[in-house]
Structure 1
Amino acid sequence: MKKRRKVRPVPVPVQCPCGLPANYVDCCGRLHRGEAAATTAEQLMRSRFSAFAVGDEGYLLRSWDPSTRPADVDFDLGMRWERLEILGSTGGGPFHTEATVEFSAHYRSGGEAGNMHENSRFRRDGGAWVYLDGVVGD
């Protein structure tokens, strides 16, 4: 049985990690607490980035497509997610059933800055946007 790593408590940020000019409580925090649902695939992508930044495993799993969802999220305890850049998207609006969102997620690990580039796929499941999978690139 795989031993689960505990997520180090992350203080609730004032500014939302997703990159929008809003405070966390009123932006992605509403989605994390289940008070609102993502209305676009990009909004879901932003909220998932914020969930990684604050260590919200429950939200990440709830917003993951059931066909690709892992049993748990393997957080890297030495990594701090710092900034998200949305590079492009296709679909993902109120009348779409599928979408892609290309992004660059900036982090700090072991004192070193880095970034992860991914083109993520999303789909609707029971009317809600969910993360399906992604292709990590350079």
Structure 2
Amino acid sequence: MSKKTTTSAACPCGGPSYATCCGPYLEGAAIPATAEQLMRSRYTAYTLGNEAYLLATWHSSTRPTEPIIVAGEKLQWLGLEVKSALRLRQRKAESDDALRQDTVEFVARCKLNGRAQRLHEVSNFVREEGEGGLRWYYVDGSFPE
């Protein structure tokens, strides 16, 4: 389901405003500096139906070849809760340049065909050279429940 987001609207990921949160990433004006920022921006891309951003931020080793967004699917994203970003606690001991892998645990809520759903995932990310320098990519995830 695609919807328009204005610059003053709250960000779908829970940030105060789309323009100062995920908007710059989805519009190509900035690159997420952390795995959590990338995960939040990917959630926002799902809520907006931005498949191009999802594919561009998916690691080439696991990127799907079939469509991610299903046209006509009655899907409404309702909210995101970040449970933990593993490396945030460990980062003090490492330089940002040394940080090449990270995990983010989250719960995303949605309605699919009117039925409430909950996606609890621990996402794996890698940071490597890409367009514009070092950038984070989503690799895969596991479902702890």
Q: TM-score range by the shorter chain?
A: 0.7 to 0.9
Which of 16, 20, 27 aligns to 2:11? It is: 16
The alignment status of 1:83 with 2:79, answered yes or no, reads yes
Which of 120, 124, 135 aligns to 2:142? It is: 135
Normalised by the size of structure 1, how large is the TM-score? 0.86
Q: How does 1:1-138 map to 2 (within 5 A)?
A: 8-12=1-5, 14-20=9-15, 22-76=16-70, 77-91=73-87, 94-95=96-97, 96-126=99-129, 127-138=134-145
Q: CA deviation at 1:105?
A: 0.4
1:55-95 per-position Cα deviation (integer Å, ceiling 9, x unaligned): 00111011111111112442242111121100112226634
Moved more, 60-69 or 92-101: 92-101
The code of the aligned residue for 2:27 comes to R
Normalised by the size of structure 2, how large is the TM-score? 0.82
| 4+ residue runs over 3 A deviation | none
**Higher relative helix content:** 2
Where does the alignment leave 5 or more consecutive residues of structure 2 unmatched?
none
CA RMSD across the alignment: 1.7
Aligned residues: 130
Where does the alignment leave 5 or more consecutive residues of structure 1 unmatched?
1-7
Moved more, 122-131 or 11-20: 11-20
